[in-house]
Amino acid sequence: MTIVVTTTAGMVEGRTDSGLSVFKGIPYAAPPEGPLRMQAPVPAPRWDGVRRAFEFGAAPPQLPLTPGTPPLWRPADGLDCLSVNVWSPGGKGDRLPVMVWIYGGGWKSGSSSDPAYDGATLARDGVVMVTFNYRVGFEGFGFVPGAPANRGFLDQAAALRWIHDNIAAFGGDPDNVTIFGESGGGLSVAALLTAPGARGLFHRAIAQSTAARVLPEQESRRIAELTARALGVRPAELAAQPPVALLSVQDAALVDMEADPGSWTTPEAITAATPVIDGVTVVDKPWLALRSGVARDIDLIAGATHDEFTLFAMSRGLISPTVPAMVKALPHMVGTTIRGLRRTGLPATRRASRLRTVDVRATAAHLGLPASATADYRAAYPAATDAELYTLMYSDAMFRMPAIWLAEAHTAAGGRSYLYDFTWQTPVFGGALGACHAADIMATLGNTDNPLAAFLLGGGRPPDSLHRMSGRLRSSWISFATTGDPGWPAFAPDAALTKVWDAEPTVAANPLAASRQIWQELALR
């Protein structure tokens, strides 16, 4: 069966499926092409009649996640990518809580059509679920002379404006909107908390594995210059280059960044096109911007997976999975890990005998830690190897400490914050990854039939512990979206009570106390 809803731009027709009304590919902004290319989004033009909303819209321009995998975007798809998707268990007048998912992908990839982000499971639990596309890569975050910065964030704000203006027609409450996202999506959530263009468009926020990477404007300009040099054009000509040309050199600047890391302010880069502190859309690093109190009326959940950086450490040859486990999982491998394996040129059967060594002291210095930090880490984690300390340091720098800093800053400014630590360990590679980056996505959205889940589960059946924990986490997120209470005590700096998400969730006091102490002074930078 189908159902028709009237939006501000015209009528859309969706499908009903197991008690849900599902609408896909509704434009929330005009295609960013022609004179709108590299510009702020503008509202979608009106249409006559009834527009079918049965299929996801085109993904934003991007390369395949891994070589040889089907591309999410092809040149023939063009630039008509700014669309929203809605799953609703209600109808007009119901005023259900609204949850809006913002995907990650290192700001270089991602699409709301990814089956890992399907909104049906959460919607069936009683909320209106919304996902949307935003521009990634240079289209969304590259510096272009005369163009607004952070166009991907401007897209996000435009999608939230569409939700505010239209979601009541789908059964949602425009005065009870929660945004949530992971990794790059987590930083998006954190940045939107203080973005002037998003003010008043959402009321609660969940920042999962917030990626600690925002650049000062001068570094964004340097990246644009390096990108232009790779194409043989001037920076002023970048906006005129076709998407495929920009994609062909999207990581050219990484070579210079990796060769001279000391001249860049952020500790890690998997993409050159990165959000920039422009003083308009991103006013400062989120944990610093929150101290102004501008978002004190927005409730916040912040947290990370416990072993965030293991996935990246494995790609760099610092963690050795068992050979049988790795061989079993190889058909499902996606993203950074398989890119790293191809970069090293080592077959799976040789990984265990060719692990890299690391200089822990140099790692600490690279991350901006004081000279005493190496000894502090060794004292705090006496059983850890150098490779494990490297992984701990990067987990703290890139994800775990930013979550705590967000909670600290928001609480200090008069807001209400909740902190969590996701410790459920994926069984892939014989457990070598632990609770790695992205392991929480399955639990959050309740989807285990997709390539990401297949990789994280090693192609095996989802364990009962995941299903139980996922049900509890989803109930907590929905309770938070409905009432502002996720079911555990609010954050306070002295106790730092933290929800520990495992097979049997608990609440612990300051579980990352040692790392938090080491990084305390850097929280203000």
DSSP 284: S
Q: Which two tokens stand for residue 126?
A: 């009683």
Helices marked H in 282-396 — which ranges? Answer: 286-289, 310-315, 323-329, 336-344, 360-366, 373-380, 386-395
Amino acid identity for residue 209 in this structure? S
Cβ atoms of residues 210 and 305 within 8 Å: no
Residues pairing with 182 in the sheet: 208
Cβ-proximal residues to 89 (8 Å cutoff; 6+ apart), any chain: 19, 20, 21, 96, 123, 124, 126, 127, 128, 171
Q: At which residue do the structure tokens 């005998």 appear?
A: 353
Q: What separation in angstroms does the CA of 17 have from each of 21, 86, 92, 442?
A: 6, 12, 17, 21
Q: Is 504 a catalytic residue?
A: no
Cβ atoms of residues 146 and 234 within 8 Å: no
Question: Quick one: three-class SS letters along 373-424?
Answer: HHHHHHHHCCCCCHHHHHHHHHHHHHHHHHHHHHHHHHHHCCCCEEEEEECC
- List 88, 109, 111, 183, catalytic entry: 183
- List 308, 315, 395, 476, catalytic entry: 308
Q: Is 183 a catalytic residue?
A: yes
- Rounded CA-CA distance 29/15 in Å is 22
DSSP 81-120: --EEEEEESS-TT--EEEEEEE--STTT---TT-GGG--H
Cβ atoms of residues 56 and 113 within 8 Å: yes
Cβ-proximal residues to 487 (8 Å cutoff; 6+ apart), any chain: 475, 476, 479, 499
Closest CA to 43 of 33, 34, 30, 53: 30
Cβ-proximal residues to 174 (8 Å cutoff; 6+ apart), any chain: 98, 163, 164, 165, 167, 168
Beta-strand relationship, 172-182 and 204-208: parallel
- List 209, 437, 470, 476, catalytic entry: 437
- Rounded CA-CA distance 167/232 in Å is 46
Q: Is 219 a catalytic residue?
A: no
Closest CA to 242 of 8, 443, 79: 79
Helix H or strand E encompassing 322: none
Helix (H, G, I), strand (E, B) or coil at 270: coil
Residues recognised as catalytic: 183, 308, 437
